[in-house]
Amino acid sequence: MSKVVGLTGDEAVAYAVKQCDVDVIAAYPITPQTVIVEKLSEFVANGEIDAAFIPVESEHSALSVVTAAALTGARVFTATCSQGLALMFEILYIASGLRAPVVMAIANRALSAPINIHCDHSDTMGARDSGWIQLYAENCQEVYDLIFQAYRIGENPRVYLPVMVGLDGFTLSHTLERVEMISDEEALRYLPRKPCYKYPVNPDNPATYGPVGLPDFYFEFKAQQAHAMEEALRVIPEAMKEFEKISGRKYYFFEPYKVEDAEVVVVSMGSTAGTVRYAVKKLRKEGLKVGALKLTVYRPFPEREILETLENAKVIIALERALSFGAVGSPIFEDLRSAFYDYDKHPLIANVVYGLGGRDFTVEDAIGVFKYGLEIARKGKVEKKVILWGVRE
Amino acid sequence: MSKPGWKSIPIGAVILNPGNTIKVKTAGWRTFRPVIDHEKCRKCLLCWIYCPEGVIKIVEKDGKIERLEIDYDHCKGCGICAEECPVKAIKMVEEVA
Amino acid sequence: MGCERMSVRLTELPREELIAPGHAACSGCGSILALRLVLKALRPDETAIVCLATGCMEVVTTLYPRTAWRIPFVHLAFENAAAAASGIVEAINVLKRKGLFRSKKKVHVLAIGGDGGTFDIGLQALSGALERGHKFVYICYDNEAYMNTGIQRSGATPFAAWTTTTPVGKKIPGKPEFKKNLIGIAAAHEIPYAATATIAYWGDLIAKVRKALDAPGPALIHILCPCPPGWRFDTHLTVKVSRLAVLTRFFPLYEVEYGRRVRITVKVPKPLPLIEYLKIQGRYRHLLKPEYADLVKKLERSVNEFYEWLEYMEKVTSKG
C-alpha cells in the first residue's frame, strides 16, 4: 500500500535513499542541497538507515569517499550542485572510468562567477561528457522515483556507470509537493542485489583498481565506457518499465505532450517542463498547434527515439537553462541539430536560453517562446540560432 | 602478439592478476650484479631487509637459514646489499655481455 | 651512535613479498623499500588494502596490465588517498555488519601518499580523515620533492635544497623555505599515534607501523625516503643516506601520542656534523662552497633547535 506525503525535492531524495539500503553516504553541504544532507544524517543518527554517514571536508572528498566505497561493492550516495560539482570534476571522470555505480543527486544551481545560489542547469551540463548517466526530474514525485531507477540502471551489469539525478535548485529542492511513496519491500525487490560492483575489493581476491593506462590501453577502456552508455539506452527503458509495475507511474526517456500534430514543439528539462506543458494547454484552446517534450534522460541522448517522436514538427525550440559559451548553441540544441542532420526529415531547430541564475520563467514566458516558434514556422527559417530570453541589454 | 581488445579485458581497467609484474624481468637494468660469498655470509639478513626489490631469498633447511640467494631475473644491481653487509660478503661484479 | 629497536627480529618477519618484483621503481629506490618495510610489519593474521595517491609508487607499480601488488590496491587521484581510505574503511565496516564482507585475515586500510600527495595537494583530505577519526594508517613516503613529475619542490623539500623549481641560481640558491612539519600537523589533530621513521632503522620503522596498526583511531607514519635520482647520489648509498639523516639529527626519529606525549625513539646524543649528510647528496653540492656557508649555518641552527625542542617536549610530557 503506498503512502502519500508532502515532501520537498531535497526531502524526497533523502526518503528515497533511505529506502535503498544504502551503505555509505558522504556529502558536503551546499545550498540548495543542504536539506538532503541534513535529512540523511538525521536518519542515520536515529538508526533509521544502517549506513556510514561520512561528513567530509569538501565535495572533492565526498565523491572520492563514495567512489572508493563503491569499489567494495557497497551501495553509495552523495549529493551536490554548482561549485561543489565543479570541485569534484576530476573525480567524476574517475568514477565513470572505474565503472563505479555511484548515484548522486544534483540540486541544479548556477555556477559562479558571480556567485548565485539559484537554479540553472549549467552545473550538470558542464559534466555532460564525464561518462555519467544524467536524469532530470520535473517534480518532486519524479525526484523520488528517479533515485530508485538510478540505482537500478547504474548497477546493471551491462552498464556499471555512475548516475546523476538533477532536481531544480529551490524550485524543486525547497518546494513542498505531493509524493506517493513505494513501500520498503517493493523498493528492496526492485533494487539489484549486492555487491554493487563487478569486482568488489576483497583481500581474499586481491585486485588492482585505477592503474596507469598508457596509450596502448587507455583508448580501449574509453570504448568500454562508450559501449556501456549505448547499452544504457536499452537498460533504461527496461528499468523504467519494471518501476511502472511497482508504482503505476510511467517513465521513459522523455514525455511528449501533444506532439503528434504539433507545428512547434518546445523541448525542455526540469520543472520548466511543467510550465511549458501548461502553456501548450492554453495555446491549444486558442487552436494553435503546439506541443511539448520533457526530456528526462539527457545522457545517454536518446537520439533514435527523439527523432521518431519529433520528426513531424515544423519547428523545435530547445528551451535550455544552460549556455555553452562559444558554441553554436546550448547542449540539447546541439544534440538535436546533430541528430537531425543525417535524418530524412529536417524540422527547423532554434535555441532559447532562459532562467540562468534562477531568473523566473513564467507561463507568459512559455507562451512567448511558442509564439516565437510559430514566427519561425511562418518565416520558414531560423534567423537567430540562439536567443537569451528576457535579458536586458 | 597483438594486444587484447576492449571486449575481452576487465571493465574499469581492473587488474585481476596480483603481482603479475613478476613476469617482467628487470635484470637488464643492472650494470653490476651482487655476488654473495656464502662462506663469509653470517646470515644476518640485513641484505634481505634492505633490498628495495625484495629479490633476496632466504633458503632454509631443517628449520635453519642455510643460505641467501639472489633472484637475478629481477635484481636491478643497486648495490645496497653490498654496501650494507656488515662483513662485506657481497661484491658488486660487472656484468659482461 | 643511535641504536636500533631490537623488539623486532629479522628472522620473525614475514618472508612473503607483498610487492612483487618486476615493477618500474628506480634501482636503489628508498620509497619502494619503505613500502616493503611497512608491509613487513603485518602480522600473520593480518592483511592490508592499500589506497595510494598518484605519484612515484603508484605509477611504477601499476602499469596496465601489470601490477606489483599482491594485496588489494586502490588508486583514485593525487590528493585523495586519505578520502579513498576513509571510504574503504567505512564501507567494510558497514558491509561486515550486513554480512556482506568476509576475509580470512584481519583487514587494515593503509592510505599511502608521497610528500606531494600528503604535505601539499593531499593535506585537506588528510586533515579531514584525521579529524573524522577513521581507523586507518596514513603512510607518507617522503622523498622531499615531486619526484614523479621530475624533481620539483614540495612543501617537504628542505631548506636550501636544489630541485628543478628551486634551482641554485645566481639570485636564489635553492629552496628559500623550510620543510613543513607534518608530524606537527598530524599531532594538532590529536590522533592516537604519529611518528617519523626511515629505512635505515628498519626495526624502529616496523615497530612504529605495528603501533599505528594497533592504534584505536587514525595513525600517521612519516617516512624519509632517500631518492638517488632526485637527491643526486649513487644507488648503493640509499640506506646510508637515510642513516646519516638520523645521525646528524637532520631527521629525528620520534613519536607523538594524542598530540601530547613526545618520545624520541632513536636518541642521537652525539650528532655527526650536518655536513656529513649534506656532502653525500648532489642536491646540496652548492652548500659545500664557502659563499653558502651561512645557509649551512641556518640549516644547522634549525636542525639543532628542533632536536632540542623535541628533547624538551619529551622531558615535559613523559609519564615520569
ipTM of the complex: 0.97
* Nearest alpha carbon to residue B14 among A238, C226, A201, A139: A201
* Nearest alpha carbon to residue C38 among C27, C48, C53: C48
One-letter identity of residue C197: A
With CA atoms as reference, the chain B residue closest to C63 would be B21
Query: From residue A168, how far is each of A82, A91, A110, A129, A143 by CA, in Å?
Result: 11, 23, 10, 20, 10
pLDDT of residue C7: 78
Q: For chain B (length 97 residues), average pLDDT per consecutive 10? A: 92 98 97 97 97 97 95 98 98 92
| Residues of B in Cβ contact (< 8 Å) with A223 | 6
Domain locations in chain B? Answer: 38-97
**Cα separation of C247 and C1, whole Å?**
7
Helices H / strands E in chain B, number of each: 2, 4
Residue C5 pLDDT more than 80?
Answer: no
Residue C1 pLDDT more than 70?
Answer: no
pLDDT of residue C247: 98
C270-297 mean pLDDT: 97
Tell me, yes or no, whether C3 lies in a domain.
no
Q: Cell numbers for A355, please give them.
A: 532562467
The Cα of A13 is separated from the nearest Cα of chain B by a number of Å equal to 28
Residue A2 pLDDT class (50, 70, 90 cuts): confident
- Provide the chain B residues 10-39 that lie in CB contact (below 8 A) with chain A: 10-16, 18
> Which tens digit of pLDDT belongs to each residue from A67-76?
999 999 999 9
Number of inter-chain CB pairs under 8 A, A vs B? 52
Residue C249 falls in which region: left (phi positive, over 0), alpha (psi -120 to 50) or beta: left
Alpha carbon C135 to chain centroid distance?
Answer: 19
The Cα of B22 is separated from the nearest Cα of chain A by a number of Å equal to 15
CATH of the domain at C129: 3.40.50.970
> Are the C-beta atoms of A342 and A291 separated by less than 8 Å?
no
> Which tens digit of pLDDT belongs to each residue from C192-239?
999 999 999 999 999 999 999 999 999 999 999 999 999 999 999 999
**Cα separation of A315 and A385, whole Å?**
12
**C10 with B79: Cβ contact below 8 A:** no
**Option in C62, C79, C94 nearest A208 (CB):** C62
- Which residue ranges form the domains of chain A, and what is each CATH number? 3-247 (3.40.50.970), 254-388 (3.40.50.920)
pLDDT of residue B1: 65
Q: Determine how β-strand A297-299 pairs with β-strand A133-136.
A: antiparallel
Tell me, yes or no, whether C2 lies in a domain.
no
Residue A123 pLDDT more than 60?
Answer: yes
Is A204 near chain B, with CB under 8 Å? no
Substitution target from A72, A93, A99, A161 for chain B, most B beta carbons within 10 A? A99
A111-133 mean pLDDT: 97
| Residues of C in Cβ contact (< 8 Å) with B94 | none
**A160 with B9: Cβ contact below 8 A:** no
**C67 with B44: Cβ contact below 8 A:** no
> Which tens digit of pLDDT belongs to each residue from C290-315?
999 999 999 999 999 999 999 999 99
**C21 with B45: Cβ contact below 8 A:** no
Q: Name the domain count of chain C.
A: 1
* Nearest alpha carbon to residue A131 among A207, A232, A9: A232
**Cα separation of A360 and A341, whole Å?**
33
**B50 with C33: Cβ contact below 8 A:** yes
> Which tens digit of pLDDT belongs to each residue from C139-166?
999 999 999 999 999 999 999 999 999 9
Buried (b) or exposed (e) across A353-373, using 16+ Cβ within 10 A?
Answer: bbbbbbbebeeebbbbbbebb
The dihedral sign for the CA sequence A363, A368, A369, A373: positive
CATH number for the domain whose boundaries are B38-97: 3.30.70.20
**B17 with C67: Cβ contact below 8 A:** yes
The dihedral sign for the CA sequence C18, C21, C22, C27: positive
Residue A210 falls in which region: left (phi positive, over 0), alpha (psi -120 to 50) or beta: left
pLDDT of residue B97: 72
For chain C, the residues whose C-beta falls within 8 A of a C-beta of chain B are: 10-11, 13, 15, 17, 19-25, 27-30, 32-33, 36-37, 40, 61-62, 64-71, 199, 202, 228, 234-240
Q: Cell numbers for C26, please give them.
A: 628506480
Tell me, yes or no, whether C138 lies in a domain.
yes
pLDDT of residue A191: 98
> Which tens digit of pLDDT belongs to each residue from A355-382?
999 999 999 999 999 999 999 999 999 9
Alpha carbon B84 to chain centroid distance?
Answer: 16
Output helix, strand, coil percentages for chain C, rounded to the nearest 5. 40, 15, 45
* Nearest alpha carbon to residue A329 among A286, A381, A247, A388: A388
> Which tens digit of pLDDT belongs to each residue from C243-260?
999 999 999 999 999 999
DSSP letters spanning A191-219 = SPPSP-SSS---TTS--EES-B--TTTHH
Torsion angle of the four alpha carbons A272, A274, A278, A284, in this order, in degrees rounded to the nearest 10 = 90
| Residues of A in Cβ contact (< 8 Å) with B14 | 198-199, 207-209
A346 CB contacts (<8 Å, ≥6 apart)?
A340
Percent of chain C residues past pLDDT 90, beyond the cut: 97
**Option in B6, B16, B18 nearest A220 (CB):** B6
Question: Residue C175 is part of which domain span?
Answer: 10-317
Q: Cell numbers for C21, please give them.
A: 618484483
Q: Determine how β-strand A297-299 pairs with β-strand A348-353.
A: unpaired
Q: Cell numbers for C143, please give them.
A: 622523498
Residue C3 pLDDT class (50, 70, 90 cuts): very low
Tell me, yes or no, whether C5 lies in a domain.
no
For chain C, give the mean pLDDT: 96
The Cα of B62 is separated from the nearest Cα of chain C by a number of Å equal to 15
Q: Is the peptide bond before C228 cis (omega within 30 degrees of 0)?
A: no
A75-94 mean pLDDT: 98
Q: Cell numbers for A163, please give them.
A: 548516475
Query: How is residue C259 annotated by DSSP?
Result: T
> Are the C-beta atoms of C158 and C115 separated by less than 8 Å?
no
**B49 with C32: Cβ contact below 8 A:** no
**A221 with B10: Cβ contact below 8 A:** no
> Are the C-beta atoms of A102 and A95 separated by less than 8 Å?
yes
Tell me, yes or no, whether C69 lies in a domain.
yes
Tell me, yes or no, whether C51 lies in a domain.
yes
**A212 with C59: Cβ contact below 8 A:** yes
